[in-house]
Amino acid sequence: MRVAIAGAGLAGLACAKYLVDKGHTPIVLERRDVLGGKIAAWKDADGDWYETGLHIFFGAYPNMLQLFKELKIEDRLQWKQHSMIFNQPEKPGTYSRFDFPDIPAPWNGLVAILRNNDMLTWMEKIRFGIGLIPAIIKGQKYVEEMDQYSWSQWMKKQNIPPRIEKEVFIAMSKALNFINPDEISATILLTALNRFLQEKNGSKMAFLDGSPTERLCQPLQDYIVSNGGEVRLNAPLKEILLKDDQSVDGFLIRGLDGQEDEVLKADIYLSAMPVDPLKVLLPKSWQELDYFKKLDGLVGVPVVNLHLWFDRKLTDIDHLLFSRSPLLSVYADMSNTCREYFNKDRSMLELVLAPAKDWISKPDSEIIEATMEELKKLFPQHFEGDNPTQLLKYHVVKTPRSVYKATPGRQACRPEQKTPISNFYLAGDYTMQQYLGSMEGAVLSGKLAADVIAKDYSEGKNLTSVENQETPTPV
Ligand SMILES: Cc1cc2nc3c(=O)[nH]c(=O)nc-3n(C[C@H](O)[C@H](O)[C@H](O)COP(=O)(O)OP(=O)(O)OC[C@H]3O[C@@H](n4cnc5c(N)ncnc54)[C@H](O)[C@@H]3O)c2cc1C
């Protein structure tokens, strides 16, 4: 079966990979000249990579880890010590660590929390533990129900001291969805905590050994192509063409550089675009359907990813760091954490700026100036004295609409991969799957979409018979 897929991010590429595994022929259309969407990266004139986002792979990413295995590229994941490391704003230049011992879950997480005495008092730990009891006892059902509250509201409801939010959860909330605890849904933090506490290596982190475009997307493309599929760059979907019965008749691809538009015909069509462009391209007649109306509740959140090259080494920490800065979220010295970016003499800091709504339209120079002020607090020893560190160069990558903004109530807006349109499916991190807006969520959504397509068009029930059914129209 020919399946036209719009979008070559992780969801579109993973879907195509699992479709070729099932004997289908995907044709992936990507708007830009680069694979990867939110994990895309570029090489500058000096040969240095810069990326859409600082990306961390977690032990709690079963579908992503399985994909690495299937592509035979597991050795490209560089696993770090099982720790979470936070800057201490009140003691500039110092760190507080949660070190997870090598014992089964949840004991390793509990020991990590109990052993850390810099950030929380014993009384705060006990009150937080008590507050978490309903989530532990009632499980995922409770976690989903808490989508009606923001994390701040949920903490208040559970009588958890507000200081815990300030110490730990501003950093976690910004890392997970680029917004603060008073905005983020409690479901997001509770889901992450559940994974981290229930799986021994759930919170263990890995960095890719080079740029995601080259080290992850390229092998995906190679796999798809060598198994009969196609991946086309510079092929933006312009319009979804419909038949009289409202099912898809073709994808109209915008011709670039004076070329004519082209109609791509397939048996099945799938959007692996982010939710924002999908909403713009939805045919008018579909917009009235409840399934698509719900998408109005999903909007991408702005985020900025920064890369700063320095004339010397600022740290030898080979791990992700939670900055706990009001301007910044997580960061890492990529000259330590990533094999291809290794430099023994000079640091390259990759930092996520979040929340970014007040910064996304500001000039790069202003963003870098504010970031340098924050770095003085994170690395005071290198910015003081007669010979302070020099910034050699920088790259700023802005994503005005990144993952969907996970405010309370969003779970109800997330669509299943199967749509009411007989030959049209969705994949993408925003679609319904248990891993929220993440790389794991994107891969899982692609896999789920491939599964549901295979199920809908399984043996004996070929496309002709589906088209001949009496009710291919939207419900
Ligand atoms: C700064 C930042 C940091 C992040 N950190 C992490 C992290 O540490 N860990 C983690 O798990 N996740 C992280 N994420 C989230 C992760 O990157 C995303 O959840 C995931 O990559 C989304 O994949 P996707 O395929 O669903 O969407 P996308 O990657 O957005 O892919 C959609 C694709 O559709 C294409 N497209 C759009 N319109 C059209 C059109 N008209 N025609 C054809 N193609 C079109 C786009 O160009 C894009 O390539 C981060 C994201 C950002 C931005």
**Edge-to-edge strand ranges of the sheet holding 77-79:** 57-58, 205-208, 77-79
Q: What distance in Å separates the CA atoms of residue 389 and residue 34, rounded to the nearest whole number?
A: 34
Residues 228 and 290 in one domain: yes
Q: How far is the CA of 312 from the centre of ligand 1 (A)?
A: 32
- Predicted pLDDT at 470: 36
Q: 382 falls in which pLDDT band (50, 70, 90)?
A: very high
Does residue 450 sit within a domain? yes
Q: What distance in Å separates the CA atoms of residue 446 and residue 435, rounded to the nearest whole number?
A: 12
Report the nearest atom of ligand 1 relative to the CA of 12: 25
User: Higher-confidence residue: 152 or 458?
Assistant: 152
Residues 250 and 271 in one domain: yes
Residues 118 and 190 in one domain: yes
- Predicted pLDDT at 405: 98
Q: How far is the CA of 96 from the centre of ligand 1 (A)?
A: 31
Residues 287 and 318 in one domain: no
User: Could you tell me which residues come within 8 angstroms of residue 334 by beta carbon, excluding any fewer than 6 positions away?
Assistant: 207, 307, 341, 348, 349, 350
Does residue 80 sit within a domain? no
Q: What distance in Å separates the CA atoms of residue 442 and residue 89, rounded to the nearest whole number?
A: 34
pLDDT at 474 over 80: no
- Start-to-end CA span in the chain (Å): 25
pLDDT at 136 over 90: no
- Tens digit of pLDDT for each residue in 448-462? 999 999 999 985 454
Residues 113 and 238 in one domain: no
Q: What distance in Å separates the CA atoms of residue 25 and residue 18, rounded to the nearest whole number?
A: 10
- The domain of 451 spans 2-39+210-298+406-458
pLDDT at 177 over 90: yes
Sign, CA torsion 380/382/386/389 = negative
Name the domain boundary from 181, 201, 221.
201
Q: What is the mean pLDDT of the chain?
A: 95
Does residue 177 sit within a domain? yes
Residue carrying the six token digits 């291809």 = 340
Probe target for ligand 1 pocket from 38, 211, 251, 304, with the most ligand atoms within 8 Å of CB: 38
- Tell me the average pLDDT across 348-362: 98
**Number of domains observed in the structure of the chain:** 3
Joined together, the tokens standing for residue 290 give 């409840």
Q: What distance in Å separates the CA atoms of residue 183 and residue 213, rounded to the nearest whole number?
A: 32
Peptide linkage before 415 cis (omega within 30 of 0): no
pLDDT at 463 over 60: no
Does residue 54 sit within a domain? no
Q: What distance in Å separates the CA atoms of residue 99 and residue 52, rounded to the nearest whole number?
A: 29
Residues 119 and 26 in one domain: no
- Predicted pLDDT at 102: 96
Q: How far is the CA of 274 from the centre of ligand 1 (A)?
A: 7
- Tell me the average pLDDT across 318-322: 98
Q: What distance in Å separates the CA atoms of residue 198 and residue 118, rounded to the nearest whole number?
A: 24
- Predicted pLDDT at 274: 98
Residue 115 CB neighbour total at 10 angstroms? 12
Q: Virtual CA dihedral for 413, 272, 56, 220, nearest 10 degrees? A: 160
Sign, CA torsion 234/279/409/138 = negative
- Tens digit of pLDDT for each residue in 47-88? 999 999 999 999 999 999 999 999 999 999 999 999 999 999
Report the nearest atom of ligand 1 relative to the CA of 253: 42
CATH code, domain carrying 25: 3.50.50.60
Sign, CA torsion 23/29/30/34 = positive
pLDDT at 171 over 80: yes
Q: How far is the CA of 9 from the centre of ligand 1 (A)?
A: 6
Q: What distance in Å separates the CA atoms of residue 404 and residue 430, rounded to the nearest whole number?
A: 6
349: which strand partners?
308, 333
- Tens digit of pLDDT for each residue in 218-247? 999 999 999 999 999 999 999 999 999 999
Question: Whose CA is closest to atom 17 on ligand 1?
Answer: 38
Residues 109 and 187 in one domain: yes
- Predicted pLDDT at 230: 98
Residues 385 and 351 in one domain: yes
Name the domain boundary from 176, 201, 226.
201
Does residue 277 sit within a domain? yes
- Predicted pLDDT at 459: 54
Helix (H) / strand (E) element for 28: namely: strand 25-29
Does residue 225 sit within a domain? yes
Q: 468 falls in which pLDDT band (50, 70, 90)?
A: very low
Name the domain boundary from 168, 201, 234.
201
Residues 366 and 392 in one domain: yes
Q: Which of 108-112, 266-270, 408-412, 413-417 has the lowest mean pLDDT?
A: 108-112
- Predicted pLDDT at 197: 87
Q: 109 with 196: CB under 8 angstroms?
A: yes
DSSP count for the chain of H helices, then E strands: 19, 20
Does residue 55 sit within a domain? no
Residues 374 and 416 in one domain: no
Q: How far is the CA of 282 from the centre of ligand 1 (A)?
A: 19
pLDDT at 471 over 90: no
- Tens digit of pLDDT for each residue in 15-53? 999 999 999 999 999 999 999 999 999 999 999 999 999
Helix (H) / strand (E) element for 87: namely: strand 83-87
Does residue 75 sit within a domain? no
Q: What percent of the chain has pLDDT over 90?
A: 92
Residues 314 and 374 in one domain: yes
Q: What distance in Å separates the CA atoms of residue 345 and residue 126, rounded to the nearest whole number?
A: 44
Probe target for ligand 1 pocket from 34, 50, 52, 55, with the most ligand atoms within 8 Å of CB: 55
Ligand 1, pocket residues at CB < 6 Å: 6-12, 29-32, 37-39, 52-56, 236-237, 272-274, 277, 303, 305, 352, 399, 402-403, 428-429, 437-442
Q: How far is the CA of 93 from the centre of ligand 1 (A)?
A: 33
CATH code, domain carrying 349: 3.90.660.10
Residues 276 and 421 in one domain: yes
